[in-house]
Amino acid sequence: MHWIALLPPEADRAAWSWWALRFTPRVARVEEAFLLEVSVSQRLWGGRERLLHQLLEENPLETLVGYAQGATSLVAAALLRLACRGAAAPSQLPDQLPLDTLSAALPHVHTLARIGCRSWADVRALPRGGVARRFGAALLEALDAAYGEQPEGYPWLAMPEVFDVKIELPALATSAPELLWSAGRLLSQLQVWLQARQRGVLALELEWALDRRRYNGENLPSHEQLVIRTAQPAQGMTHLRRLMGEHLARSTLAAPAHHLRLRSLETAPWAGASQSFLPEDAARGDRLHQLVERLSARLGPAQVVVPLAQADHRPERMQRWVPAQGGTPREHQGAAQATYPAWLLPRPLALQMQGDQPCYRGPLHLLCAEQRIEAGWWDAPPQGLASRDYFIAGNEAAGLVWIYRERLRSGRTPARWFLHGLYA
């Protein structure tokens, strides 16, 4: 068997345990370190050295971590403690390891030192019966496990179903943008969790704890939060970090904040990023939904809108505009018919007539048969019944335009013509 002992920073320990679970299912938290048993999985990663390189050098957390490795978990943990002290590993392992690197021996180090025992081999040279009576069986059992003479059993860690991590800020934050640096650390941990769970995040909540105090005689809330949503599942943190920055730039803290918490609200299975050799598929820059989400956060949800299809045949009422950040279902966003123009006028423009021919920058020539629309009888005036014949028309000055003729009952005045749309 082969064990790796890790000593990550306190603030990143949960994320490091999730990162370690990517390489082996046998990860345990023992005292101050994480212990990984990798003898079964190291072949899958290309050998022990490749596994160790990917574990330590290719992690997205970008934090330094102490590590050591050994034939048993207690040997790896002992070597890690020596490395943290800046001491070199002894030449003979595990015999020459100091007694204070073994947790089971710590309560008896001074007593054992008085009888000349300063290493693991010194204690193993003592009579087992006397050691058991004087120091307890736990010391002998730990030494047996350290030498591989007794199985080692630990409760293995498992991935949590929901990401929920809280950290203390290095200093009181008095404005929302000051939270962004610490929030970036939480996003890095979220990325590790998402990769381990094979999921992408759709919604998350950033919460900050406030100093409890009174303002103008009123009690302030103990917490404030910000909910961030994205249209497509995400594992990369670049877009989420920029989106969070835009939201925080528009936020105001009611009081200084001292803790930060990030939790996932909604996730979806991660299908992976598709790759293509075609040049048109390798588009540079942000995706459309990322641009829309960032602009909505910067300008406000009401300033960035998208069309929402309506069940109505009247062109001016086929769609309505709703905030893009409102989570409009994709299936409700329909496209107009192929013959409809790209631009509708806010209000139809009445056209002058030259005989029986409508004019817009000159006489218009009808280029296709009419398209009849009769709808809206259920609405009250003035947006009631629309009875029209639509045509595509044009001339050299106006180009292609979309016009319609009102269909009136017999005996009324001649039908009027209107300009309703322009073609690009």
- pTM reported for the whole predicted model: 0.70
Which among 56, 26, 22, 61 is positioned nearest to 40, based on CA atoms?
26
Sign of CA dihedral 290, 293, 296, 299: negative
Q: Taking residues 310-330, report their average pLDDT.
A: 74
Mean pLDDT taken over the chain: 87
Per residue, the 3-state secondary structure of 107-149, as one string, reads HHHHHHHHCCCCEHHHHHCCCHHHHHHHHCHHHHHHHHHHCCC
Q: CA–CA distance from 32 to each of 37, 78, 103, 317 (Å)?
A: 17, 12, 11, 65
| Helix or strand run (H / E) with residue 246 | helix 238-249
Domain coordinates of the chain in residue numbers? Answer: 3-146, 164-269, 300-335, 343-422
Residue (of 287, 303, 285, 284) closest to 295 by Cα position: 303
pLDDT digits (tens, 9 = 90+) for 359-394: 999 999 999 888 888 887 777 766 678 889 999 999
Instruction: Please list the alpha-helical segments (H only) found in 5-90.
Output: 13-21, 48-57, 73-85
CA distance 408 to 387: 8
Residues in the chain: 424
pLDDT tens per residue across span 146-159: 999 999 889 999 98
State pLDDT tens for residues 393-422. 999 999 999 999 987 655 566 788 999 999
CATH annotation of 164-269: 3.30.1490.100
* Integer Cα distance of 41 and 23 in angstroms: 7
